[in-house]
């Protein structure tokens, strides 16, 4: 019995006293080049280049790259454009705009760094039809505020033989408070479900965040096209509300929210979806890591096209 106790004491002392400090020297590597470029016919060409940051970096900020040659070419051979550097890693054209239905390639050359390429297209223009109505939801006289519900039904006429991708953004008017209720989507066949569900900004706890946007496809799982409707509520100042009543269902300038429908490319859709999931799940300790989809060869980031449409909700 005493021998057994002696052996346990000696073994415990040996385990406690055994400490080895290992110093691991990580290899130094050149930071990856990060590309951020969304292009649309409504704007001139613009590309932002920055360097990837280490997780141990003291300050999480973008470090712009100023020594690159950035070239845009079109697949049809009608465009070869060298972008000018405007500072802080921003490269831009002064006159040239992307064209709908055209595929483009990005080339980035930097001395001492690998070449970088990416390609994507501007989706074709589509017909967007929509109807809307505003309904008073609640009137709080003590705060001189009226809560108004907006119901918008949207019909898309795009290429039926192709799968199309969209992003919808609703921005509150400057004269009002933030939106009070998240976007609620319905389709002619009921709620959008499965892989085509609108991907809201959702926190790890399940609450929807302040950004009011969604990305989705125009196809259900069985390939059928969809029409969809959205509804949301927002705070309307009382003076805006009475102006709206006097004008017979027309909101005065500065009082109405803005809605934007974007016809986006597949690369835009994949990047936006995976970036959103990574951002929200990063705060969840038990979640699986998600890599953000990149269409940039030789670097990381996104080079993606879209066509935008404003839905007038006055």
Contact 188, 195 (CB under 8 A): no
Query: What are 77-112's pLDDT values in tens digits?
Result: 999 999 999 999 999 999 999 999 999 999 999 998
Of 92-106, 125-139, 158-172, 174-188, which range is least confident?
174-188
Of 70-79, 125-134, 178-187, 212-221, which range is least confident?
178-187
Backbone angles phi, psi at 211, to 5 degrees: -65, 135
User: What pLDDT is attached to residue 118?
Assistant: 98
Contact 46, 98 (CB under 8 A): no
Contact 295, 264 (CB under 8 A): no
Q: Is the pLDDT of residue 225 over 90?
A: no
pTM of the predicted model over 0.85: no
Task: Compare 290 and 221 and report the one with higher pLDDT.
Answer: 290
Strands of the 228-237 sheet, one edge to the other: 127-140, 145-157, 228-237, 184-187
Pair of tokens at residue 87: 């500072």
Q: What is the DSSP letter of 280?
A: H
User: What pLDDT is attached to residue 202?
Assistant: 41
Q: pLDDT band at 231, cuts 50/70/90? A: confident
**Scanning the structure block, which residue is given the tokens 């990305």?**
215
d(CA 250, CA 37): 37
CATH number for 127-293+306-311 (one of 1.10.730, 2.60.40, 3.30.70, 3.30.1120): it is: 2.60.40
Q: What is the percent of the chain where pLDDT is above 90? A: 31
- For 157, residues 6+ apart whose C-beta sits below 8 A from its C-beta are 126, 127, 128, 129
Which of 26-30, 62-66, 152-156 is most confident?
A: 62-66
Domain definitions of the chain by residue range: 33-121, 127-293+306-311
**Scanning the structure block, which residue is given the tokens 């939801």?**
137
Helix (H, G, I), strand (E, B) or coil at 26: coil
Over residues 109-123, mean pLDDT: 94
Q: What is the percent of the chain where pLDDT is above 70? A: 60
Q: Which residues of 64-94 are buried (b: 16+ CB within 10 A; e: fewer)?
A: ebeebebbbbbeeeebeeebebeeebbbbbe
Q: pLDDT band at 154, cuts 50/70/90? A: confident
Contact 44, 97 (CB under 8 A): yes
**How confident is the prediction for the chain on average, in pLDDT?**
75
Over residues 131-150, mean pLDDT: 65
Which of 92-101, 125-134, 219-228 is most confident?
A: 92-101
d(CA 3, CA 282): 53
Contact 45, 80 (CB under 8 A): no
| Same fold flag, 33-121 and 127-293+306-311 | yes
Query: What are 236-289's pLDDT values in tens digits?
Result: 666 776 766 665 556 666 677 778 889 999 999 999 888 877 777 766 677 777
Over residues 186-211, mean pLDDT: 44
Taking Cα atoms as reference points, which of 126, 133, 206 lies closest to residue 158?
A: 126
Sign of CA dihedral 51, 56, 59, 61: positive
Over residues 143-172, mean pLDDT: 75
Contact 221, 241 (CB under 8 A): no
The fold of the 33-121 domain, in CATH, is Immunoglobulin-like (2.60.40)
User: What pLDDT is attached to residue 46?
Assistant: 97
User: What pLDDT is attached to residue 306?
Assistant: 97
Q: Is the pLDDT of residue 54 over 90?
A: no
Q: pLDDT band at 208, cuts 50/70/90? A: very low
Taking Cα atoms as reference points, which of 152, 136, 211, 222 lies closest to residue 186?
A: 152
Helix (H, G, I), strand (E, B) or coil at 277: helix
Task: Compare 174 and 279 and report the one with higher pLDDT.
Answer: 279
């Amino acid at each position: 019995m005493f021998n057994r106790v002696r052996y346990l004491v000696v073994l415990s002392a040996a385990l406690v006293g055994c400490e080895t400090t290992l110093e691991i020297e990580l290899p130094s590597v050149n930071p990856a080049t990060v590309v951020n470029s969304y292009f649309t016919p409504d704007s001139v060409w613009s590309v932002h280049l920055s360097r990837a940051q280490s997780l141990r970096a003291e300050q999480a900020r973008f470090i712009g790259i100023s020594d690159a040659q950035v070239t845009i070419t079109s697949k049809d051979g009608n465009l070869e454009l060298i972008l000018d550097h405007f500072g802080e890693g921003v490269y831009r054209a002064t006159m040239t705009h992307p064209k709908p239905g055209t595929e483009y390639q990005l080339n980035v050359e930097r001395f001492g760094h690998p070449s970088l390429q990416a390609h994507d297209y501007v989706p074709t223009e589509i017909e967007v039809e929509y109807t809307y109505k505003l309904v008073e939801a609640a009137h709080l006289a003590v705060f001189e505020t009226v809560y108004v519900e907006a119901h918008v039904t949207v019909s898309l006429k795009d290429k039926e033989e192709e799968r199309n991708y969209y992003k919808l953004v609703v921005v509150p008017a400057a004269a009002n408070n933030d939106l009070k209720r998240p976007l609620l989507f319905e389709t002619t066949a009921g709620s959008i479900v499965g892989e085509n569900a609108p991907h809201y900004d959702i926190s790890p706890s399940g609450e929807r965040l302040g950004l009011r946007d969604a990305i989705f496809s125009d196809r259900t799982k069985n390939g059928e096209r969809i029409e969809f409707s959205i509804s949301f509520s927002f705070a309307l100042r009382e003076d805006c509300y009475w102006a709206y009543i006097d004008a017979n269902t027309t909101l005065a300038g500065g009082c109405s929210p803005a809605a934007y429908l974007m016809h986006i490319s597949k690369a835009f859709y994949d990047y936006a979806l995976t970036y959103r999931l990574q951002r929200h799940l990063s705060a969840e300790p038990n979640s699986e890591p998600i890599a953000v989809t990149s269409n940039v060869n030789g670097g990381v980031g996104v080079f993606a096209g879209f066509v935008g449409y404003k839905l007038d909700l006055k």
